[in-house]
Amino acid sequence: MKHLVMRCCAFVLLAGTAAAGVAQDVNPWNGSWKAEPSSFHYEAATFSIATDAKGYTVTSGGGTASPEVVCDGKPHTNAAGNDITCVKSATGYTVSTSKDGKPVSTNHVTVTGSTMSRKMDFTPADGSPYSMSFVSKRVSGGPGVAGVWKPVSFSESQDTGVLGIEVTGDSVAFKETDSPTPISCNLDGTPTKVPVLGGTMAVKAIDPHTLKVFYAGDDGKVRRENTFALSLDGKTISETDFTPAPGSAAMTLLFHKQ
């Protein structure tokens, strides 16, 4: 479900529950939770693409334009030390990223009429390959990829729609819907390194039924905020995933306990 972009790992043992002497095996957060597809709602800021003879630039949510991607079929090293190779076609672009000679991702961009489809194939150094697909609708501009676009949907190949939570003491084993294995996390709000994807995650309990998760890049800057709300009867969890400006986006989804 998430994504570039987008996996989470976090749940907090409720202090009040522990103090009351309730056994951990009946912690209301624990168990398997199945997503309800009809509850999925996604909103994202528009982005614009400007093209010239060399390549293209992308501006998200009215922010600053990204460095130009040069589309001459040759590798160009960016500020992060990655080699970017872009090949232009009649309907879009194929952009490949590598690091130290090893493939990282390939982004296939195709425009058909007023629809842009993007499929990103990832090759993690210490994980299984996976892909993310995005669909955007043209707001203005054209022809081709040039113009203003509105994201309308996304999907991920690894997404099973089932997340698992198991709180034990002051830690949690959490298996996201798009993660092949559970991840163990500390529950004291200390940033925790996220394997494969990189960056960190930190958790804060707002109240006994609300947990907030902050995801930061390697630079410490928060990239996403996730809020999980447990219903009073313990039967559902509602998730709100928020990405701040300039790439503003919000996703909501409901889970039912299995």
Name the region of 80 (left: φ>0; alpha: ψ -120 to 50; beta: rest). alpha
Q: Are 152 and 135 in contact (CB under 8 A)?
A: yes
Note whether residue 1 is domain-resident: no
Whether the pLDDT of residue 89 is over 80: the answer is yes
Q: Which helix (H) or strand (E) holds 18?
A: helix 15-19
The pLDDT tens digits for 90-117 are 999 999 999 999 999 999 999 999 999 9
| Same structural domain, 110 and 178 | no
Residues 205 and 151 placed together within one structural domain of the fold: no
- Domain boundary pick from 122, 156, 190: 156
Chain segment 19-35, per-residue pLDDT in tens: 333 344 478 889 999 99
Count helices and strands (H / E) in the chain.
1, 21
Structural domain contains residue 72: yes
Long-range contacts (CB closer than 8 Å, 24 or more residues apart) made by 184-187: 185/9, 185/10, 185/11, 187/10, 187/11, 187/12, 187/13
Q: Rounded to two decimals, what is the model's pTM?
A: 0.73
Structural domain boundaries, residue 20 = 15-42+158-257
pLDDT digits 0-9 by tens, 194-244: 766 678 877 777 777 887 888 888 888 888 898 989 999 999 999 999 998
Name the domain count of the chain: 2
